[in-house]
Amino acid sequence: MAGQFLAEISKKEQLTQDIFRLTLPVPEVAAAARPGQFVMVRSGKNLDPLLNRPFSLHQGMDDGRIQILFKVLGEGTRRLARQEVGDQITLIGPLGRGFSLPEPASRPCLVGGGMGIAPLFFLARELLRRHPAQVPELLLGARTAVEVRQLAAEFRLMGLDPLVATDDGTLGYKGLVTDLWPRLAESAQPRQVFCCGPHPMMAAVARHCAAENWPCQVSLETMMACGVAACLGCAIKGKQTAVSGDYLHVCKHGPVFEAQTIDWS
Amino acid sequence: MTHGEKIDLSVKIGPLRLANPVLTASGTFGYGREFSDYLNLEQLGGVVVKGISLEPRAGNPPPRVVETPCGMLNAIGLENVGVNAFLRDKLPWLRGAGAPVVVNILGNRVEEYAELAARLDGVEGVAALEVNISCPNVKEGGVAFGTDPAMAAAVTRAVRAATKLPIIIKLSPNVTDIQLMARAVEEEGADAVSLINTLLGMAIDLRSRRPKLANVVGGLSGPAIKPVALRMVWQVAAAVKIPVIGIGGIMSATDALEFIVAGAHAIEVGTANFVNPGVTGEIVAGIRHYLGQEKLNSLAEVRGSLRLS
């Protein structure tokens, strides 16, 4: 069940020059939300930019608060970043299909790149809540240290031990997060992988998981006008598209998908 | 009895009586159930569903949507479940949702429109048909039905012969003379016209030097098109006797009332549903509030009341 809510920003954090985190009490959304779901957000009643913006849920807390974490990329996010504590935004959600959570038998492995790290936070908390003894593995990739340092520290506070890769080597390994893959494969322990990040990164992770025969879920994003399965704008190609012609819709069938159902070409 | 209780928002679209003038525009409200978390459909004057074709259509490759100033472009490609699946899977729930159901139909041949109309004729729960003539006529090299008066007339005539349901012809704005198009379909027995459908537009990504839509061109909707829509509704209302349903950038009760002043009997809300899924309920309430404030009992005194000179 989703709904539309007017919420007041209770906390605003600026993690880097263009990465922001907003905390909002929206008990109905926090209560219903599952990791991997998203919300459609609008700040103000202006006609331009017109459309709501989708954000994955960074956190859904027991006390009724939710958090979204975003980077300023265009006018919509620029406007959202200008909001202050006490300002109201409208929120539609929780929306979409979230992550399916595994049986304790296979070790969860979270792989996040850039802003894809955002939904993995909520996921990590939920995994630990269900199986406190099974600490998920965590791989984090970012362009540079400042974009990932704080989040890595917060994951550590949860009890995880992130392996970090930065493009410029200012934190952790220098290179792509997918370069770290061989370290995982070394231990030959089966994993269930949860991945979110730039499209090429997820495609690479999907390939690796297929080779290892590890189940892999990815959280995709695409242009969407409505987020509620009305506009049909968020179509993406699945493996079935070449056969039946039908597309998948990110807001309805996703945003979380089994990696092997996606056409990565 | 307070004044509020005497307010009558009902409107007649040919033989179809609606409780209020607010309908949802095809392609912006799915098949109705998608919005059940956000509003009670009983509040609406009517629901116009996503356009239905004889066979299911998968739609266009992505990207299908892009935001533009005060609006958006769409090239969805008429993705729909097809008439069989609509009747089997979508209509049953919608029938019970409390609002009259208008089925929007589309095709690429006159015969397809006629067959769809015949399939839907007499089906319980279908209150009217809205005919999307902005589709390419494959027999005439892909020219849109709605850009040629003779083709628009042919579709209307074929649908009229195939069904007793009230017929609303949805006009394309991508024409030189909208009055000519409206008269052409009125002559063939349309019970009403709805306008406008989307305006043809495109967007370009400078960095990649590519169109932002995979289909290159798409339909423009949203507040940006309201001035064009208002002008066309005003022109058509002056040109035909049948009721006019106004569509185009309506975001509020004020917008809706402007269309009614221009001559519309009813309006459809489209892109606004994406921004605020509950907006149609708010617009109904806003229209009622306006009538109360103006101490009017019905929309009759507002309709076509534009003052010139």
Per-residue pLDDT of chain A (265 residues; tens, 9 = 90+): 899 999 999 999 999 999 999 999 999 999 999 999 999 999 989 999 999 999 999 999 999 999 999 999 999 999 999 999 999 999 999 999 999 997 766 889 999 999 999 999 999 999 999 999 999 999 999 999 999 999 999 999 999 999 999 999 999 999 999 999 888 767 768 889 999 999 999 999 999 999 989 999 999 999 999 999 999 999 999 999 999 999 999 999 999 999 999 999 9
Which one of B64, B74, B94, B254 would you mutate to disrupt binding with A, by most A Cβ within 10 Å of its Cβ? B64
pLDDT at position A104: 66
Q: Which residues of A touch B67 (CB under 8 A)?
A: 49-51, 225
Enter the tokens of residue B249.
Answer: 């950038």
Q: Cβ of A230 and B59 within 8 Å?
A: no
The SS3 assignment for A129 reads helix
Q: Cβ of B38 and A42 within 8 Å?
A: no
Chain A with chain B: Cβ pairs closer than 8 A: 103
Q: Which residues of chain B are modeled with pLDDT < 50?
A: 1
Q: Cβ of B71 and A232 within 8 Å?
A: no
B70 is catalytic: no
Judge whether B104 is closer than 8 Å to chain A, CB to CB: no
- Mean pLDDT score of chain B: 96
- In angstroms, what separates the C-alpha of A57 from chain B's closest C-alpha? 19
In the stretch 204-243 of chain B, residues with CB closer than 8 A to chain A read 222-223
Give φ, ψ of A66 to 5 degrees: -125, 160
CB B53, CB B135: distance < 8 Å: no
- Cα–chain-centroid distance for residue B114? 19
Q: Which residues of B touch A234 (CB under 8 A)?
A: 62, 64-65
Q: Taking Cα atoms as reference points, which of B53, B76, B98 lies closest to residue B198?
A: B76
Q: Cβ of B67 and A50 within 8 Å?
A: yes
How does B115-132 read in b/e, with b if 16+ C-beta sit within 10 Å?
bbbebbeeeebbbbbbbb
Q: Which residue intervals of B46-198 are DSSP H helices?
A: 82-85, 91-95, 110-120, 149-162, 178-187
pLDDT at position B137: 86
In the stretch 115-154 of chain B, residues with CB closer than 8 A to chain A read none
CB A46, CB A54: distance < 8 Å: no
Q: Cβ of A233 and B74 within 8 Å?
A: yes
Q: Cβ of A228 and B62 within 8 Å?
A: no
**Distance in angstroms (rounded) separating the CA atoms of residues B20 and B209:** 47
- In angstroms, what separates the C-alpha of B196 from chain A's closest C-alpha? 18
pLDDT at position B13: 96
Given the residues B76, B117, B135, B251, the one annotated as active site: B135
Q: Taking Cα atoms as reference points, which of B143, B140, B150, B229 lies closest to residue B193?
A: B229
Give Cα separations from B152 to B4, B134, B136 (angstroms). Answer: 42, 9, 11
Give φ, ψ of A132 to 5 degrees: -55, -25
Q: Taking Cα atoms as reference points, which of B59, B64, B52, B56 lies closest to residue B94?
A: B52
Q: Cβ of B223 and A224 within 8 Å?
A: no
Q: Which residues of A touch B58 (CB under 8 A)?
A: 241, 244-247
Q: Cβ of A225 and B70 within 8 Å?
A: no
Judge whether B94 is closer than 8 Å to chain A, CB to CB: no
pLDDT at position B1: 45
> Which one of B34, B76, B271 has the shortest CB-CB distance to A228?
B34
